[in-house]
């Protein structure tokens, strides 16, 4: 793997500021503090899938806290288009020294490169660090700027000394645009819960569950019985829950949550991606998007989960992110990370709950499979051909898996 200085040199082997392109000025931004937060968020608000993870405050917190920075193998190189002093388009872009924290796994590709004596790293990556959530990656004021931004990104990848460009979890319209531009498509599966059940009207006036029991009534008898049994185990252990939002999440709560979060990684013998400084930063900058679920027993806090949400009707989504417990109790994870958030969605009328990456076990709790896509460009023509063939075979497997999951639908069939 290249040194930090080698990665920086490769990432900066292009011109830092390119000449006007169709009236736009192209700039590579290595510090998001150099872009006005209001201008960034105003541009973001115009996107059809503008998740809270794309807000300036969230991204800047990742960098400023040292969670996603050069020292951790994430070198920010945000690709931007300007008209005069107006930000017209932007892509969250990193020069990556590894494949950790991405949730679209290309370790086998890197290994194949290494076996042939070719460097896979550094690579270009457009994604939200540690966040497998679909959303805008080509943030633009109009379709012309969006298409140009993608063209500039592909030109940058071709002109640089990097092996490849990967754009993870774009929205469907962007993925179609990337495929049209010749990028290779990779397909995956996540599990999402819909308030109102399968086929519910997604609009703001659509039907929603009136209560958790209302939701349970739509499930098959076996699934309904199992969920009630799981929740009963937690209640019988004397565990209660509090939901903290916004300013209710004080510094003591953040320090407790950080202990829980780090405990999860300790149990898996791995290193946490995020730190207390990051949590404090988003708590201060975007409190209205945060929900902290705290579990207590005998007056002591024992577990917590952190969720991000946007209750605006055009988004209306709760995103499950992180959880941890300081003591073990059967089914505590399901209650803290799934059932309590579902109660929150029902109470607040939030349309969708995205429970995070993977997790086939979520189907037994009312989540259904959703296809995801990522887009890939590889500079080496032989490897590009090999990866294209691999992705075609993988797609067949994904399609078969989705068909199989469809036969295990947890809801009562009419």
pTM: 0.94
Range 191-370 has CATH code 3.40.630.30 = yes
The predicted structure's pLDDT at residue 217: 95
Strands (E), 277-343: 290-297, 300-310, 317-325
- With b for 16 or more beta-carbon neighbours within 10 A and e for fewer, the 74-103 pattern comes to bbbbbbbbbeeeebbbbbbbbbbbbbbbbb
266-128-104 Cα angle (round to 5): 70
The predicted structure's pLDDT at residue 17: 44
Query: How many CA atoms does the CB half-sphere of 230 hold within 13 Å?
Result: 19
Divide the 414 residues of the chain into consecutive groups of 10 and give the mean pLDDT of each group: 59 54 90 97 94 97 98 97 97 97 97 97 98 97 97 96 97 98 97 85 74 96 97 98 96 98 95 97 97 98 97 90 95 97 96 88 93 97 98 97 92 68
Residues of the chain with CATH 3.40.630.30: 191-370
Q: Which of 328, 350, 356, 362 is nearest to 245 (CA)?
A: 350
CATH code for the structural domain at 4-182: 3.40.630
Residue labelled with tokens 């319209």 = 173
Give the sheet arrangement for strand 74-76, strand by strand: 74-76, 94-96, 123-126, 164-168, 368-378, 184-194, 352-357, 317-325, 300-310, 290-297, 239-245
Strands (E), 51-163: 74-76, 78-83, 86-91, 94-96, 123-126, 139-140
């Amino acid at each position: 793997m290249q040194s930090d200085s080698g990665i920086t040199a490769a990432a900066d082997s292009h011109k830092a500021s390119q000449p006007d392109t169709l009236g736009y000025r192209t700039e590579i931004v290595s510090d998001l503090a150099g872009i006005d937060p209001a201008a960034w968020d105003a541009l973001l608000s115009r996107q059809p899938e503008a998740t809270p993870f794309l807000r300036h405050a969230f991204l800047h917190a990742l960098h400023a806290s040292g969670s996603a920075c050069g020292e951790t193998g994430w070198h920010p190189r945000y690709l931007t288009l300007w008209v005069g002093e107006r930000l017209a388009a932007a892509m969250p872009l990193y020069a990556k020294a590894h494949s950790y924290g991405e949730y679209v796994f290309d370790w086998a590709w890197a290994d194949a490169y290494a076996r042939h004596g070719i460097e896979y790293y550094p690579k270009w990556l457009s994604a939200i660090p540690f966040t497998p959530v679909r959303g805008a990656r080509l943030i633009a004021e109009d379709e012309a700027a969006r298409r140009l931004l993608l063209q500039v990104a592909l030109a940058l990848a071709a002109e640089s000394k990097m092996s490849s460009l990967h754009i993870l979890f774009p929205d469907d319209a962007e993925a179609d645009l990337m495929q049209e531009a010749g990028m290779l498509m990779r397909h995956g599966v996540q599990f999402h819960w819909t308030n109102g059940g399968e086929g519910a009207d997604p609009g703001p006036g659509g039907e929603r569950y009136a209560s958790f029991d209302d939701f349970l009534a739509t499930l098959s008898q076996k699934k309904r019985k199992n969920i009630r049994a799981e929740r009963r185990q937690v209640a019988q252990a004397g565990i209660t829950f509090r939901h903290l939002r916004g300013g209710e999440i004080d510094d003591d709560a953040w320090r407790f949550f950080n202990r829980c979060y780090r405990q999860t990684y300790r149990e898996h013998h791995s290193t946490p991606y995020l730190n207390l400084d990051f949590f404090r930063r988003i708590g201060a900058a975007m409190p209205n998007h945060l929900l902290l679920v705290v579990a207590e027993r005998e007056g002591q806090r024992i577990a917590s989960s952190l969720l991000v949400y946007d209750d605006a009707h055009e988004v209306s989504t709760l995103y499950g992110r992180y959880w941890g417990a300081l003591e073990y109790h059967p089914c505590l994870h399901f209650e803290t990370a799934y059932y309590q958030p579902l109660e929150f969605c029902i109470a607040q009328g939030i349309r969708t709950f995205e429970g995070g990456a993977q997790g086939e076990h979520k189907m037994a709790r009312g989540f259904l499979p959703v296809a995801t896509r990522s887009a890939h460009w590889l500079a080496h023509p032989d490897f590009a051909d090999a990866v294209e063939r691999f992705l075609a075979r993988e797609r067949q497997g994904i399609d078969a898996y989705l068909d199989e999951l469809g036969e295990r639908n947890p809801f009562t069939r009419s």
